[in-house]
Structure 1
Amino acid sequence: MDLLNSVLQSLKIIDSSLGILELAPPWGFRRDTIPKDMATFIAPMSGSCLVRLDDGTTVEMKPGNAVLILRDAFDIVSADGSPTKSFVESWTAQGLPAMGPHIERSGPDYFCAIDHERPDEHRDRLLAVAVQAEDVAESPILGVLPQMISFDEKELEPALIGTVAQFVEAEHRQPNPGYNATAQQLANFLFIALVRNHVLSNGTDRASWIRGMSDRAIGHALKLIHQAFDKPWSLQNLARASGVSRSVFAARFRTLVGQTPMTYLAAVRMHAAAQLLIDGQPVSNVCQRVGYRSEWAFRKAFRQQFGMMPARYGKSLRG
């Protein structure tokens, strides 16, 4: 079983937006705190810009570079020192749609801040893709990614970015039926490909499943947990299946993953249970499918994790 494949498939993308930002320097925008379930991808198509997080981390971009931003507020400016205004307010003022699974777009979003009386002036054109995930039970993937991932020409797949950019440009000029479904799939593919690229190329310094999967014994245990979380795993039989002693396994797992094996197993089960409940599965079925032999024990564990009973959780999220 492919652990990375399993974790990436656990991400359920509920909405995405592709668009073009066309801006005349000097320009600058402030994007307030991003919800933890949203990621924003920005890549210059022409011109250049700076992206800066609140902690001071700054990336200078030109065609061939890109950034993926999660969870954190940021400034995007044409040059250092450019004044900023609210991106959300400017977006709304242009009548552009918000994010949400109920939104159906007929073409790419086009955000424009240029002087139409000066058609020959220099313009910066940026490809922007926003993706919103259904982060039930805090999906294993989003929480361990850094706030900003930067990509250079060597780390980007030119054909992939080029395909997305060409699609957005063509549909901006002439929208066609079926745009929304095509754009959603393309954005989803781009996001998953970027995350996969980052995990395979860089890993992470933080204790997480990403660090754990690089270790032979712990990586094997993680695969077993994700592949068969409904089995009655114990610390002892996970250690035995991984080929190391119980004490060595427990210590190494906690060091690399940042949790005990049983805590991690419970988190994986709760993530699966939450998704099943949102999909409308009855509590009794969910209990069995995620490895609990006692419905009472499952309800207790679920309430500790989410602060409400399983049936109420599923109903509230479906609403």
Structure 2
Amino acid sequence: MDALATLLYDSRAHGAMFCRSLLDSPWAVRFANDAPLTLLTMPSGAGWVLPEDGDPVRLDTGAAAIVRGPAPFTVACSPDAAPRVVVLAEDQCTDELGRDLTESSRIGHRTWGDRPDAESVLLTAGYQLREDISTHLLATLPQVVVVPADLADCPLMLMLLDEVAVDRAGQQVFLDRLLDLLLVSTLRTWFDGLGADAPAWYRALGDPVIAHALRLVHDDPAYAWTVGELASRTGVSRAGFAQRFTRVVGETPMAYVTGWRVSLAADLLRRTDDTVAAIARRVGYSDGYALSAAFTRLRGTRPGEFRRQAAATPV
């Protein structure tokens, strides 16, 4: 798999929170649901995405936006509009004073707002990610990513909008899969548009040698990779490969391998009850001591302590 595929492969939507808001001006909706990523679009009307700490970002009709969480953010008709609705969960919203609006604002299935034929329609979907694997992805994203309407995947957007408005058998699974496709499509379009400013691991996909090396590491992290082995598998000299990899990716081949293995280990520590020794073997270390040394050096804490802290942190 390539780098983007690996980062998103197991980060599939499962029970994602969808909300269709029907709004008349002046309007502003604050989202405080702690989602790591939120995908949103305005099929009609236009507005502004107002991050907690950052400049307002314009959201035109039909454009797609991704907001990096979990910090709250607001979507409003203008940058100076004050929130009058706060979304806390798919079935929970309040006014700015904390008074419950869930039932009084409900218009239909997954739909809240002012009236059925309101002038603006805002569609949002909260997305969960595998926290440690996706660190590489999240670290490269600004707080708000916007893909213009002419580049957004309109057929998928329309399918999502139509499905949210009705209640059908198997709907959550259908919506989750649509959201997966939209997330990948939107991120890929945005990264492609960055050109030379795209993150190093994404630019590397355009280099046949380095892209091949990354796929090898991602597909089999437990293999005993060396610079020489990666160079041999990609058909270039050891010295040439090392220089090329460092120039394209921004770190040495073995630093990348170590970082990837530790990220995999961190995810397994969160998601499984496997022993540290078992996890070490799965990600390419001979035993738990070797993994612990690398993990502590990169994360500043031992694997066991990391697991205890993760278990004590609310999801």
TM-score between the two structures when normalised by the length of structure 1: 0.78
Residue 8 to residue 204, structure 1, CA distance change in 2 (3 Å): farther
Cα shift at 1:226: 0.8
1:56 equivalenced with 2:55 (yes/no): yes
Report SS of the residue matched to 1:91: strand
Question: What is the identity, as a one-letter code, of the residue corresponding to 1:58?
Answer: V
Amino acid at match of 1:224: L
Give distance in 2, aligned partners of 1:42 and 1:207: 23
The 5 A counterparts of 1:11-90 are 11=11, 13=13, 16-30=16-30, 38-53=36-51, 54-56=53-55, 58-62=57-61, 64-71=62-69, 74-84=73-83, 87-88=86-87
Residue equivalent to 1:103:
none
Which residue is 2:105 aligned to? none
User: Separation in 2 of the partners of 1:203 and 1:16?
Assistant: 31
**After superposition, what is the alpha-carbon deviation per residue over 1:268-294, rounded to whole angstroms, capped at 9, x for unaligned?**
112222233322222222111111113
Letter in 2 for 1:50: W
Query: What does 1:190-229 correspond to in 2, within 5 Å?
Result: 190-200=182-192, 202=194, 205-229=197-221
Query: Is the 1:51–1:74 contact (alpha carbons within 8 Å) kept by the matching residues of 2?
Result: yes
The equivalent position to 2:284 in structure 1, one of 278, 284, 291, is: 291
Could you tell me how far 1:209 is from its partner in structure 2? 0.9
CA distance in structure 2 between the partners assigned to 1:68 and 1:231 by the alignment? 35
More divergent stretch after superposition (245-254 vs 216-225):
245-254
Change (3 A) 1:290 1:169: same
Could you tell which deviates more after superposition, 278-287 or 155-164? Answer: 278-287
Q: CA RMSD in A?
A: 3.2
- Quick one: distance in 1 between partners of 2:298 and 2:100? 41
Q: Report the more deviating stretch, 79-88 or 160-169.
A: 79-88
Structure 1 residue 43 displacement after superposition = 1.2
Distance apart, 1:303 and its partner CA: 3.0
Counterparts in 2 of 1:246 and 1:207: CA distance versus 1, 3 Å: farther
Q: Which residue does the alignment assign to 1:124? A: 120
Q: Quick one: which of 265, 271, 274 aligns to 1:281?
A: 274
State the Cα deviation string for residues 209-261 of structure 1 (Å, max 9, x = none).
10112112222221111122111112233233333444443333233222222
Residues paired across the two proteins, number:
297
Query: Which amino acid in the other structure matches residue 17 of structure 1?
Result: M
Q: Percent identity?
A: 26
The answer to whether residue 76 in structure 2 is matched with residue 91 in structure 1 is no
Q: Which residue of 2 aligns with 1:100?
A: none
CA contact (8 A) 1:29 1:84 kept: yes
Secondary structure of the residue that 1:284 maps to in structure 2? helix
The whole-number CA distance in structure 1 between the counterparts of 2:251 and 2:223 is: 19
Can you give the 5+ residue segments of structure 2 that lack an aligned partner in the other structure? 103-107
Cα deviation digits, residues 19-52 of structure 1 (max 9, x gap): 11122101234557x96x6112221122222234
Q: Could you report, residue by residue, the CA deviation over 1:109-137 in whole angstroms, capped at 9, with x for unpaired residues?
A: 4342x3x7xx88x5311111111212125
1:101 alignment partner in structure 2: none
Match of 1:280, SS state, is coil
Q: Closer, same or farther in 2 for the Cα pair 1:73/1:205, shift >3 Å?
A: farther
Give the TM-score taking structure 2 as reference length: 0.79
